[in-house]
Amino acid sequence: MGVEIKVEGLTKRFGSQVIWNDVTLTLPAGEISVMLGPSGTGKSVFLKTLVGLLKPDAGSIMIEGRDLTRLREHDLYEIRKLFGVLFQDGALFGSMNLYDNVAFPLREHTRKSESEVRTIVMEKMELVGLTGAETKLPGEISGGMRKRAGLARALVLDPEILLIDEPDSGLDPVRTSYINQLFIDLNAQIDATFLIVTHDINTARTVPDNIGLLYHKHLAMFGPREMLLSSEEPVVRQFLNAQTIGPIGMSEEKDADELASEEGQELPPLPPIPLQLRTSNGTTRHAERPAGQWCHDNGITPPPGSFESGNAGVPGVRSGSTSAPATTDTPAVGTADVPAAQGESPAVAQESV
């Protein structure tokens, strides 16, 4: 079971430039969280701070009772073993084949024999659907395959926490769907705590248990997926529904004139909350909650049509899953006969993503 990360009052500056101020949130153990935000709001800086690559100017990051921001280099090195990180481009060594790339952390950080390394590398390669591609060089494969190889490498030390930076960058929508399905399936299998930084609204609407939004140097909101998808808070609503009307402008915040010109304009109704993507084999993830549970528990009426399909609900945006018959182990709250969204796992499909 993954570990909880408790962030309190975290502030990061570069010189006089404040990146974000007073960020407080808890990434629940074993759950999938997504961090959103306009470009340049410091999402990657947040990931790097969590793993101890950057030092915050204030605040704490508590993991297993220790404050990561106060650890000495040696202890930081130890606690980093809890983390697997997938950087945007997979960060593979171009001159090494995939096998050696994936084996690298094991050879660097453990004293395992080559036969033990082989067993682990082959297991992780299979998990991400890359069996048979061991001898390929990173330059010989597609962007999606590179990401999956990066993911296999992030998994070899059996991390409790997986940090994933823009897994969808450079991928087409189908490949993005496959990698999203892979995250859901992986989360069910390894129960690690996931934090995914993404710009993809469809991913944000259908994959995570929790969503956070960084905006204008602070954390605008963090909470369960249904909380943010039903929120009327202007920034959250604008971002999660990919709208131009709202406080977020082309570069940063809109100025007073721009906002005044929008006065009286009616916002489109909130789109339905889509079903969360489920595992491809129908098993229930540890962190999975029945559809509609949060709204029900908090007396929120979700937008009409919510939880009726895997459609992300934003015009032109569909979830990554293909429709499949309902499974009954996580019934929707307050909705009858909700079909479960499912898709084929890349590991099963051997799709060359």
Ligand X SMILES: Nc1ncnc2c1ncn2[C@@H]1O[C@H](COP(=O)(O)OP(=O)(O)OP(=O)(O)O)[C@@H](O)[C@H]1O
- Chain residues in the site for ligand X (CB under 6 A): 14, 19, 37, 39-45
- Record the tokens describing residue 141, joined without a space: 């494969």
Instruction: Report the residue number, 58 or 326, with the smaller CB distance to ligand X.
Output: 58
138: helix, strand or coil: helix
What's the closest the beta carbon of residue 160 comes to ligand X, in angstroms? 23
What's the closest the beta carbon of residue 48 comes to ligand X, in angstroms? 8
209: helix, strand or coil: coil
What's the closest the beta carbon of residue 40 comes to ligand X, in angstroms? 5
Instruction: Report the residue number, 13 or 136, with the smaller CB distance to ligand X.
Output: 13
Distances in Å between the Cα of 147 and the Cα atoms of 87, 91, 94, 95, 167 are 8, 9, 13, 16, 7
Kindly tell me the burial class for residue 259, based on how many C-beta atoms sit within 10 Å of its own C-beta (0-12, 13-18, 19 or more): middle
Instruction: Report the residue number, 49 or 181, with the smaller CB distance to ligand X.
Output: 49
| Whole-angstrom distance, CA of residue 290 vs CA of residue 306 | 13
Instruction: Report the residue number, 43 or 124, with the smaller CB distance to ligand X.
Output: 43
Instruction: Report the residue number, 41 or 210, with the smaller CB distance to ligand X.
Output: 41
Instruction: Report the residue number, 43 or 205, with the smaller CB distance to ligand X.
Output: 43
What's the closest the beta carbon of residue 69 comes to ligand X, in angstroms? 17
Instruction: Report the residue number, 37 or 52, with the smaller CB distance to ligand X.
Output: 37
What's the closest the beta carbon of residue 54 comes to ligand X, in angstroms? 7
Question: Is the Cβ–Cβ distance between 230 and 270 less than 8 Å?
Answer: yes
Beta bridge partners of 58: 11
What's the closest the beta carbon of residue 41 comes to ligand X, in angstroms? 4
Q: Which of 233, 250, 164 is nearest to 200 (CA)?
A: 164
Write phi, then psi, for 178 (nearest 5 degrees).
-65, -40
What's the closest the beta carbon of residue 113 comes to ligand X, in angstroms? 38
What's the closest the beta carbon of residue 318 comes to ligand X, in angstroms? 23
What's the closest the beta carbon of residue 313 comes to ligand X, in angstroms? 23
- Record the tokens describing residue 299, joined without a space: 């007396």
Question: Which amino acid, residue 70?
Answer: R
Instruction: Report the residue number, 41 or 206, with the smaller CB distance to ligand X.
Output: 41
Instruction: Report the residue number, 43 or 148, with the smaller CB distance to ligand X.
Output: 43
| Whole-angstrom distance, CA of residue 164 vs CA of residue 148 | 11
What is the residue whose two structure tokens read 């009772």?
A: 65
Strands (DSSP E) along the chain, which ranges?
A: 5-14, 17-27, 32-36, 58-63, 66-67, 83-86, 161-165, 193-197, 210-215, 218-224, 322-323, 341-342
| Whole-angstrom distance, CA of residue 96 vs CA of residue 98 | 7
